[in-house]
A and B are shown apart, each in its own frame.
Chain A
Amino acid sequence: MRNIRIMTGAASLIAIGLVSACSSSSGSEESSSDASGEYEVYALLPQGTDQPYGTTYLPAMEEEAAKNGINLTITNSQYDADRQASDCRVAVAARPDLIILWPAVGDTVRPCLAAAQAADIPVTVTNSDVNPGDKDLTAGYSGPDTYGQGAASAEIMCELAEGNPTNILMVNGLTGNSTAINRRDGFVETIEAECPNVEILAEQPGNWNKDDSQTVTSEMLTSVGAENVDGIFAADDTMVAGAIDALRAQGIDPQPLLITSIGNTELGNPLVKSGDLDGTIFQSSSWDGQNAVLVASQVLAGETVEEDLFMPSVKVTQENADDPEVAPEW
């Protein structure tokens, strides 16, 4: 008797939870269908409101979708490739008009693209591109060139180094993360090709965190000897802010050092203005989110799209740091 009472109790509890959440979810469905969506589109993202970039990317994306009469369903695989593959299968099964894909791990998306093609669902890619070999399965790409950003940051570094022997430290993103890998590769390969006079003395992951970056930078300074270090490259502005703090904490003036990064965020832009950060690459999350939908709607309308719509990898230095077109967004 007691068992049954307990079971009903538990059941009703779960039921209440389920109903309330389902109603909230159906609520969001209604609100999006209020925009009288003509097109159903799935956006398979590896991040959402769990990451700062996604937090500013999403509103721009949703706003643009509403403007274009696109009904968006957004998933977040938290950078788990298996989870994204599963999201992809869900999306293909839902038979949307188009899928927007932000690959969690670039090497792993081919089966997803193949499945979409088999189901006649066009796929556009956003934020980080698929492998060259998989391009024929996609209808277009918009976003930053993560490799190119690393390369551009390296170009700034090369210019600053002016051919002098320069020793730098490198702070990478989260180990194994595809953006982290691409930016690092772009930076390292460009340095090797264009200015071999720049030597990377040490590298450690800063995990996209300011505090982790500050600690490892400080440790790397100790490791190689602070006096031997002429510059720092960090894979994003948050981490470069940590690296600059580490320099200051050791009583080293960051001004004469060659420091570059990627982002031009609200954290990085003031550092550029103050001259601590010599150069960064502007990445507009809102551009990224907005153009993901723009490319998608062009494809849906049957217009021809460029194969790659690269976010301008604007190099931001002290001269143009105040320009409105590079106003930091996050």
Chain B
Amino acid sequence: MTETATPRETPTRQAPSETGPSQRRAALLQWIAERGIFVFTALLIVFAAIFVDGFASTVNITDVFHRAAPIGIVAVGMTFVVISGNYLDLSVVAQVATSAVIFIGVSNLYGIPLAVGLAVLVALLYGAVNGVAVGYFKANAVIVTLATTYVGLGLLRWLSGGSIFFGPPDGPIRAMGQIRIGPLPLSMIVLIVMALVLAFVLNRTTFGFMVRCVGSNKEATRLAGVSTPRVVLGAFVITALAAMIAGFVLAAFSNTAVSTMSSGFEFRALAAIIIGGTSVFGGRGSILRTLLGVVFVSVLTNILVLSNISFGWQQIAIGALIAAAVSVDALARRAAQ
């Protein structure tokens, strides 16, 4: 096994001597894969501003923010799970709904502090169960979080009775939902703060650093003396806490909460993450990319709604977009080889 079956000294760096058409194409693809989302988002916004009536209005920008905020908060949190190399957390659907229902339902009865405390507890529980099963039991994240989704939604509906909960029309939660600073609703501010905080955690703390390392090369990280299961656990806890905050924001925005309100969040958040260019194989990606992915999808959906395009076509567009985004990524990677 010692005898090198692989080339002995393979310089992975290509000599930049010739730039044939295939290399130029590879370079272009590479460039698009690296910076594509920035360019596409910018182009889409410019396009919309010019050709779509009403897009550039303050009111509409606020609507885009409303679309972006809850899904974005979930997505920036879930980015940790994706970067750690564990695909996604399906159970955010259950987590967001549970948090929203607790936020309104429990605060109606016992006040906001208790509601928030309970929501935090539930979020930690979700993070712990998912994280222990995926990290320590090395179970597949898709199946684990599928199972916790079933259990979580079942429990929520069983315990809450599936009722629609609304806060008093002049209550503090409604007031929260209506705060805005300039054109920015509170939900958007929460998203921005979350993104800043989580970007800081991912880029500047040892924990975030380890999450990136685990996603990039789990074995090398383990051999550097890191407890990789603990890192995975941490990634799921962060995702759960973000989903909890998304639940608060969603509840505050409409002053209502119901167990069905977050349906589809898991795949929509994942779609935003992927379109942003974060690799589903882990390691590569950033919070900023996720944020841009969310903005891109929200702007696109907004344009389609503004153009009165039906829901079916909206779904087709998002599906096609995912395919396009990952195809570019895959082709660039292949061309680089």
Contact = CB atoms under 8 A, between A and B. Distances in A.
Interface of A: 48-52, 54-56, 175, 202-205, 208-211, 214-216, 218-223, 225-226, 238, 241-242, 245, 249-250, 266-267, 270, 330
Most buried by A among B162, B169, B250: B162
A223 B162 contact: no
Interface in B257-274: 258-261
B261 to A, nearest CB: 6
B306 A219 contact: yes
Contact of A49 (B63, B161, B250): B161
> Top 9 nearest A-B pairs by Cβ distance?
A49-B162, A52-B164, A210-B254, A222-B54, A211-B254, A223-B306, A219-B305, A222-B60, A55-B162
26 contacts: A50-B259, A51-B162, A52-B163, A55-B161, A205-B311, A208-B260, A209-B258, A210-B255, A211-B66, A214-B66, A214-B253, A214-B254, A216-B305, A218-B63, A219-B302, A219-B305, A220-B308, A222-B59, A222-B60, A222-B63, A222-B306, A267-B166, A267-B256, A270-B169, A330-B163, A330-B164
B57 interface: yes
B284 interface: no
Contact of B254 (A52, A209, A219, A221): A209
User: For the side of the interface on B, what is the size category?
Assistant: 35 or more
A86 B285 CA distance: 45
B2 interface: no
A49 B157 contact: yes
Interface of B: 53-55, 57, 59-60, 62-63, 66-67, 70, 153, 157-158, 160-164, 166, 169, 250, 253-256, 258-261, 302, 305-308, 311-312
A209 B307 contact: no
A49 B60 CA distance: 36
Given A50-B260, A54-B162, A223 B305 contact: yes
Given A238-B256, A267-B256, A223 B164 contact: no
A222 B57 contact: yes
A225 B55 CA distance: 11
B54 A52 contact: no
Interface centre among B67, B253, B311 (most CB of A within 10 A): B311
